[in-house]
Amino acid sequence: MSEESDEIMPKPCKHCPFKRGVQMFGSVRRAEEFAYMADNRYTWFHCHKTGIVDEDGEGDYIPTENSLECAGLVSMKVHSGTIRCPEGFTPSTDAYSDSQEMVDAYLDWLGEDEEEDEDEWVD
């Protein structure tokens, strides 16, 4: 990703997995996989609203040339000090401050002994 804000969604979407209060995953383990993306300056995540659904696979979103980076993840990376704030981007206060806050939220929601399938998304 470049340092340009025009390649980033302006704010986290309603179902952004990096936004406080959004419970997208049925397991702490799956939430950890997403949360730890914020700790790696080289890991990026396209907003699902700017991709297309892979009808042949498992319904995953595929980025296109017009896809934008997830504002929630970029905000988390800025809040935690993983990256400098891209020029023209305003980090969202709705995003978690770091990966530990996100994991702790899932531990509170699901408990440490999660029973649900690790790949299950919560609606």
Prediction pTM value? 0.82
The Cα 57–Cα 65 span in angstroms is: 20
Q: Domain ranges in the chain?
A: 5-110
Give the CA count within 13 Å in the CB-facing half-sphere of 93: 0
Given this model, what pLDDT does residue 52 score? 86
* Joined tokens for residue 32: 């950890």
pLDDT bucket at 4, cuts 50 / 70 / 90: low
- The model's pLDDT over 23-69, given as tens digits with 9 standing for 90+, comes to 989 999 999 999 999 999 999 999 988 988 887 767 678 888 899 99
For residue 20, give every residue at least 6 positions away whose Cβ sits within 8 Å of its Cβ, in sequence order, or none.
94, 95, 96, 105
**pLDDT value at residue 80:** 97
Higher pLDDT, 57 or 9: 9
**Please, is 111 exposed, middle or buried when counting C-beta atoms within 10 Å of its C-beta (0-12, 13-18, 19+)?**
exposed
3-class secondary structure, 80: helix
Summarize pLDDT for 85-116 with one digit per residue, the tens: 999 999 999 999 999 999 999 999 998 654 44
Locate tokens 């969604």: which residue?
9
Task: Write the CA distances from 37 to 12, 43, 54, 73, 115, integer angstroms.
Answer: 16, 6, 22, 8, 24
